[in-house]
């Protein structure tokens, strides 16, 4: 027999998946805008604000459910974890916004053509992480936790590789700053995706697991 709290939990999960889809689209557009030096800031800001509003809505709904429905231990774990995941997803939007601001804040720069600097590869890998995080949130498939952890390790390796290669580049100062900031933002997105995997594991097992 379905409980009222089950309906509420499903509504929260649906809201979370909506947020993750917006975050994915935001980061995808921000990366394309950066690589093509196109101004996508207005749209990314709108999405970032939407994610903030939805995160607050989710937190309010989860808090209300805790107060009204006397959740069981497993329900309470899920509510706490969903609030945390909403924050992580909101951060995705914030980092996408930071990337979209670079064209405006730094002005134009000459792109680095050195094939050793794998910004696009790192971006694709991070988008794959976000896609995996969405599937994990939707399905609670524990095998995806290990896939996400492996992808996060790949991003860390690309970050260090790119950082080294950028530091050795003869590009101009604006270019060096822009590329360094982008790979840092991507690395942070990857970290927050790992936090999502940790939160889902907590829902499923009641145990804390740290992937970083």
CATH number, residue 190: 1.20.58.220
183 has a pLDDT exceeding 80: yes
**If you write DSSP's letter for every residue of 67-78 in order, what string do you get?**
HHS---HHHHHH
Within a domain: 211: no
Within a domain: 212: no
Within a domain: 28: yes
State the average pLDDT for the chain: 91
User: Residue 129's closest CA among 8, 24, 200?
Assistant: 24
Q: At which residue do the structure tokens 């050795």 appear?
A: 168
Q: What is the pLDDT of residue 206?
A: 82
User: Residue 58's closest CA among 83, 38, 94, 80?
Assistant: 83
Within a domain: 177: yes
Over the stretch 111-149, which tens digit does the pLDDT of each residue have?
Answer: 887 666 788 899 999 999 999 999 999 999 989 999 999
Find the mean pLDDT for residues 93-110: 90
**pLDDT confidence bin for 39, thresholds 50/70/90:** very high
**Rounded Cα distance, 136 and 40, in Å:** 29
Q: What is the pLDDT of residue 84?
A: 96
Q: What is the pLDDT of residue 113?
A: 74
User: Residue 109's closest CA among 163, 170, 173, 162?
Assistant: 173
Are 44 and 100 a contacting pair, CB within 8 Å? yes
The DSSP 8-state label assigned to residue 65 in this structure reads: H
Within a domain: 152: yes
6 to 168, 181, 202: CA distances (angstroms)? 55, 42, 18
- Domain residues for the domain of 47 are 4-205
Domain count of the fold of the chain = 1
The answer to which of 10-19, 29-38, 109-118, 151-160 has the lowest mean pLDDT is 109-118
% of the chain at pLDDT higher than 90:
70
Within a domain: 210: no
Spatial neighbors of 85 by CB under 8 A, at least 6 apart, are 16, 137, 195, 196, 199, 200
């Amino acid at each position: 027999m379905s409980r009222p709290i089950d309906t509420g939990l499903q509504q929260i999960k649906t809201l979370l998946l909506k947020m993750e889809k917006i975050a994915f689209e935001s980061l995808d557009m921000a990366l394309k805008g950066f690589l093509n030096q196109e101004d996508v800031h207005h749209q990314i800001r709108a999405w970032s604000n939407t994610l903030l509003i939805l995160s607050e809505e989710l937190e309010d709904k989860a808090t209300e459910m805790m107060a009204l429905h006397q959740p069981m231990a497993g329900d309470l774990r899920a509510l706490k974890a969903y609030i945390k995941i909403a924050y992580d997803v909101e951060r995705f939007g914030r980092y996408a916004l930071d990337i979209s601001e670079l064209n405006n804040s730094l002005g134009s720069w000459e792109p680095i053509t050195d094939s050793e600097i794998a910004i696009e590869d790192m971006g694709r890998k991070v988008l794959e992480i976000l896609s995996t995080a969405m599937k994990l949130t939707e399905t609670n498939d524990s095998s995806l936790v290990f896939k996400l952890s492996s992808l996060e390790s790949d991003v860390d390796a690309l970050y260090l590789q790119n950082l080294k290669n950028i530091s050795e580049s003869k590009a101009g100062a604006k270019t060096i700053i822009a590329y360094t900031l982008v790979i840092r933002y991507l690395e942070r997105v990857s970290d927050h995706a790992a936090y999502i995997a940790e939160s889902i594991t907590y829902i499923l097992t009641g145990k804390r697991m740290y992937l970083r």
